Amino acid sequence: MRRGAHRAVPAALALAVVAGAAACSGGCSGPSCGGPTKAPTTTTATTTTAPAGPVPLTGGPVLAVKIDNTSAARPRIGLDKADVVYVEPVEGGLTRLLAVFSRHQAREVGPVRSGRESDVTLLANWGKVAFVYSGSSSYTARILARGAQVNLSNDQSGRGYRRDHSRPAPYNLIGDPTALLARAGGSVRPHDIGFRYGPPIAGGAAATSVTATWPAATVSLRWNAKRGQYLVVTDGRPDVSPSGTQYGAGTVVVQYVTSKPSANRDVNGRPTPVEQLVGSGKAIVLRGGRAWQATWSRAGATSPTTFTASGQVVTFAPQGPVWVLLEPTGRTATVR
């Protein structure tokens, strides 16, 4: 948002200029004609100022993509272009990623995997967005169908997907964002999800790494001052793109959430965890090599999720993805 300040020429001065011109129409000019001295030229000035205070996320059409987060899915594709990457617990103690793109779209994304019922709430405050996933159980499909998102499952149509035969199935489904957005008929720009970007607030403590664990998965992010990012390490290995560049986050959020078992079961009979993303709880926000102990709050599924610390809205780094680690309450992320 930019604010311009405009100074108009006063009406009385404008009339004086007109009157002087009329009095001197015979070729005489200045006071000897009995008219007023010619008024000095006045220029209208325009100034601009930078946005004051933190600003929300703005961007283009939103594409949300469910991406596998196990070792078989390496290397993951397109995460460097995401605005937000949610690390979401799934059955078996593993995690899966929900990567949301708006300011930039990757050329390709993946490996694309199946949706979960928590995705409906995760995406509800983004608006009616395009959601890319590779199918789901019949139980989960009924819940996804009730969500506001536009579902682009590979079960419904192969358009927008390809198989990378250099990878093992089912970790080889790759999405084409351009084709998928076209298939969705476009997508909305992001609603106000509550995140605020701007200079860091006061306080915080030095923090060069954070590690979150689940029963069968670990995600660590380690501060790299040269890159200006926390670099991603998954299950003890650097998480790199196909070109070999390690993925990073400009901001990391550990959001402690209540988790309960779903009525859904996987093929091994294990229940899918469902995260309670409405309400409030504790959080940790890391950026620029510092960490803030915070509180998150969300009044309803379509309401923004806000993060505050010591009565201030916690701001996120304008550049680089925000990684949100959904950590079940009762577990504790390690910050050093």
Number of helical H runs and strand E runs in the chain = 4, 25
For 128-156, the pLDDT digits (tens) are 999 999 999 999 999 999 999 999 999 76
* Per-residue CA distances from 96 to 16, 73, 91, 147 (Å): 73, 11, 10, 19
Phi, psi of 228 (to 5 degrees): 70, 30
Using alpha carbons, select from 230, 236, 205 the residue that is nearest to residue 218.
236
Instruction: Indicate the average pLDDT of the chain.
Output: 88
Concatenate the DSSP letters of all residues of 262-328 into one string: EEEE-TTSPEEEEEE-SEEEEEEEEETTEEEEEEEEESSTTSPPEEEETTEEPPB-SSSPEEEEEEE
Has residue 288 got a pLDDT over 60?
yes
pLDDT in tens, 203-239: 999 999 999 999 999 999 999 999 999 999 999 999 9
Name the helix (H) or strand (E) containing 178.
helix 177-183
Residue spans per domain, the chain? 55-335
Q: What percent of the chain has pLDDT over 70?
A: 84
Q: How much is the pLDDT for 294?
A: 98
pTM for the full predicted model = 0.85
Name the CATH topology of 55-335: YerB-like fold (3.50.90)
In the structure, what pLDDT confidence band is assigned to residue 52 with cuts at 50, 70 and 90? Answer: low
* Distance between CA atoms of residues 99 and 97, nearest Å: 6
pLDDT digits 0-9 by tens, 226-280: 999 999 999 999 999 999 999 999 999 999 999 999 999 988 889 999 999 999 9
Give the model's confidence band at 301: pLDDT under 50 very low, under 70 low, under 90 confident, else very high. Answer: very high
pLDDT tier at 17 (50, 70, 90 boundaries)?
Answer: very low
